[in-house]
Amino acid sequence: MKPLAVVTRSGFIECMHSGQVCVTDSNSNIIYHFGDPNTKIFLRSSAKPFIAVAFVESGAMEKFGVTLEELAVICSSHSGQEFHRNTVDSILHKLGLNEGSLQCGSAEPYNQDAVNQLIKENKSPSPLFNCCSGKHAGMLALCKYYGYSTENYIDLNHPVQQLILTTIAELIGCSTTDIIRGIDNCSVPGYMISLHQHSYLYSLLASGYSAKSKYRNSLGLINKAMRDNPRMIIGDGEFDTELMKGCASKVIGKVGDDGLYCVSIPERNMGICIKIEDGSERAVHPVIIRLLQQFGVLNDTEIENLKAWAFPTVNDHKGAVIGNIYPVFDINNPLIQDFTIGQRIE
């Protein structure tokens, strides 16, 4: 397969990253694809905004007085900064629960300052530090709203997980039996659908209140929550947040994990999904920015704001630039050349 990106050292290709891309409009029409749009992939953390649809649709948001900022953290893969943890804790407090109710497990935060603080205080991370704690708080809110047990809410057959499965199937327009389920790293069900279906979900999120879906009001509220609160979506210095801040929330960016990334483009009602096949994160950011640039979504000033992500370098241990990571696809030229390891590239 032709690569999406190559990694160079001293002007020669050292590594290549193959992958898949699908860009879809809100009518589920494929605008562009690279690779096979029917490839099945797990949604991973990119499912969170659509899990949140079940939460908003239920009425739990109003019943418990959950704010837009708190809704954003329910959709997040947060980096464990103090304001993230406090926001998740606030949701739990409104439910009459505490972090002991979270079954996501404990995980080291992405944010280095948060890691350093734990080391300084000789503490281990609690479940609040887990990047999925917001999502789990939203699931617990559904349990409390419907009167379901909070003890086993992560189980595949728990009513909340069945509700989420049904919601995602209805958003896509398929049967629940068409969605393959597995287990995500935070112990809740994960969902496998096609790349095309995946990008379609993000086109619905882009459309928001105008989406051709019975869930349009929930999608619109989630769209607003995420765009208004980019720091909540992952955190300071992380790609999702910096992408949204760098273009004044012209797009919604959401990491999936293991080389998966999704974008909603509200001005175009478009959704983008990419999957780097080897799971590498280093190819994700320049590929996403190249797509947004070639579709005319980002202007030169915004590209400049994001240049560290758009044009990543390979550095030696003294900080000198010795290579680059280049996207090598062109949406206007499907006949792009093949590349080989060891090839010189300008």
Is-contact 274 287, C-beta < 8 A?
Answer: yes
Inter-CA distances, 244 with 74, 84, 160, 303, Å: 17, 17, 31, 12
pLDDT attached to residue 335: 64
Counting as low any pLDDT under 50, the low residues of the chain are: none
Is-contact 129 108, C-beta < 8 A?
Answer: yes
pLDDT attached to residue 131: 98
Q: Please, what's the b/e burial string for 86-120 (b: 16 or more CB within 10 A of its CB; e: otherwise)?
A: ebbbbbbebbebebebbbbeebebbbeebbeebee
Instruction: Write out pLDDT tens, residues 326-340.
Output: 999 999 887 667 899
pTM across the whole model: 0.96
CA torsion sign, 79 to 84 to 86 to 88?
A: negative
Inter-CA distances, 219 with 27, 146, 159, 199, Å: 15, 21, 22, 15
d(Cα 168, Cα 273) in Å, to the nearest integer?
A: 16
d(Cα 47, Cα 44) in Å, to the nearest integer?
A: 6
CATH number, domain 3-327, options 1.10.3470, 3.40.50, 3.10.450, 3.40.710: 3.40.710
Instruction: Write out pLDDT tens, residues 260-293.
Output: 999 999 999 999 999 999 999 999 999 999 999 9
Beta-carbon contacts of residue 48 (< 8 Å; ≥ 6 apart): 74, 75, 76, 77, 134, 135, 254
- Residue 216: CB atoms within 10 A of its CB come to 15
Instruction: Write out pLDDT tens, residues 56-107.
Output: 999 999 999 999 999 999 999 999 999 999 999 999 999 999 999 999 999 9
